[in-house]
Structure 1
Amino acid sequence: MFMRIDHVAIACHDLEEKIALFERIFELTVVAREINEEQGVKEAMLHVVDGDGGGSYIQLLEPLSPDTPVGKFLAKRGEGVHHVAFGVPDVTEAMGEIGGRGVRLLDEKPRHGSMGSSIAFLHPKDVGGMLTELVQARPTDQGHNH
């Protein structure tokens, strides 16, 4: 079902400061920036590696305001890992399979994600306390699988 770890998302107070840190320490490069009003975040995707199943990234998230999900996360837990996203060939199919195993889905249908992907989140309490995202990459990004 999983083709790769698509990204590890890190919540931060200052996106530019964290981008500079990850560029300096890990020599990563920003390949995309977006403001996602629906999720209330300003984000940057830093490329880690490409594999047969597609790319892997570090996603840095800065909340647009304190009352957004990431804003509330920062107030409660501070900066750090927010969620882990797994690349899947078909997000709708993966939602059905995982939902059929008793895992609650936070999304009823896939929604827009970073870099033109389709995404859905799983309830953290049903997957060991980790907010988990399923990501179907934009068709041009799916490597050798299609």
Structure 2
Amino acid sequence: MNIKRVDHIGIAVPNLDDAIKFYEDILGIKCEGKETVVEQKVNVAFLPVGDTEIELLEGTDENSAIYKYIQKNSGRGGIQHIALNVDSIESAIQEFKDKGYIMLDNTFRYGAGGAKIAFCHPKGTYGTLIELTER
């Protein structure tokens, strides 16, 4: 598996507009777009920082993974995942499975920005939700 870079850091937030305001006003990191990913029940904002992005995530439904994550964290949210950009998502998924790691996604799906994505179960990654992404 060839990991090219950290693609983005996903941060769950209870209110997307308030979070964008903080990142823009206080940190000077400009939001360069928003998107709703209906299948994942999430609103996403993209804030590029060098070769990577901060991805702010707001759940749109009580059944979304982001909404549940925020509820587990006393309504505050926080870093929800780290995404690693790979050459071939199919190969990366297979390599994880071949080495005995649990994947939440056995095949890729499409995420924000049209990227191919798959998540590795945090039980096998020392508690960190790892997203594999191919753009």
* 2:125 equivalent in structure 1: 127
Per-residue deviation, residues 14-72 of structure 1 (Å, max 9, x unmatched): 1011011111232212223111111110011110113xxxxx10000000022211111
Which secondary structure state, in structure 1, belongs to the residue aligned with residue 39 of structure 2? coil
Please say if 1:73 is aligned against 2:91: no
Residues in 2 aligned to 1:113 and 1:67: alpha-carbon distance in whole angstroms: 17
Please say if 1:29 is aligned against 2:27: no
Please say if 1:107 is aligned against 2:105: yes
5+ residue gaps, structure 2:
none
How far residue 79 of structure 1 moved from its aligned partner, in angstroms, is 1.2
Aligned residues of 1:32 and 1:115 also touching (Cα < 8 A): no
RMSD between aligned alpha carbons? 1.0
Per-residue deviation, residues 75-104 of structure 1 (Å, max 9, x unmatched): 112310001100101111111112211111
Residues in 2 aligned to 1:37 and 1:76: alpha-carbon distance in whole angstroms: 22
Moved over 3 A (4+): none
Residues in 2 aligned to 1:106 and 1:93: alpha-carbon distance in whole angstroms: 15
* 1:2 equivalent in structure 2: 3
* 2:114 equivalent in structure 1: 116
* 1:17 equivalent in structure 2: 18
Code of the residue aligned with 2:53 in structure 1: it is Y
**What number of residue pairs does the alignment pair up?**
132
Code of the residue aligned with 1:136 in structure 2: it is E
Which secondary structure state, in structure 2, belongs to the residue aligned with residue 130 of structure 1? coil
Which secondary structure state, in structure 2, belongs to the residue aligned with residue 31 of structure 1? coil
